[in-house]
Amino acid sequence: VFSLANALLLRPLGVEEPERLVRIGTTTADERYGITSWPDYEDLRDRVDGLNGLAATGWTLLGLRHGDETERLVGEMVTWDYWSVLGVEPLPGRAFLREEDRRGAAAPVAVLSH
């Protein structure tokens, strides 16, 4: 129990300037958490003054194949600038490139851990 509380409540976030991060979302008429549409994200990103950056995230189910077996995983889809908004650089490797953040990009790209 302490390990969970430490990880969720006590240990600081592994990002630069966590006190400057905010989460923006939508709620439905009955005040449930809703899904922010891509056009709404683009409007926020392009029209709201005072933001140093805005990244979008969404959870998805993935299948990881090892030979003949497939393992189900939960992954997080993020916009190309996610890491720079958080002030984090993945090591080793690199973060995503702007041109990889569009439908029909040449090949899917993943960060396996950070």
Six-digit token pair at 69? Answer: 């077996």
Query: Tell me: the pLDDT tens digits for 43-75?
Result: 988 888 888 888 888 888 988 888 999 999 888
What is the pTM (predicted TM-score) of this model? 0.68
For residue 10, what is the DSSP state? I
Whether 12 has a pLDDT exceeding 70, the answer reads no
Closest CA to 56 of 31, 19, 99, 85: 85
In whole angstroms, what separates CA 110 from the centre of its chain? 12
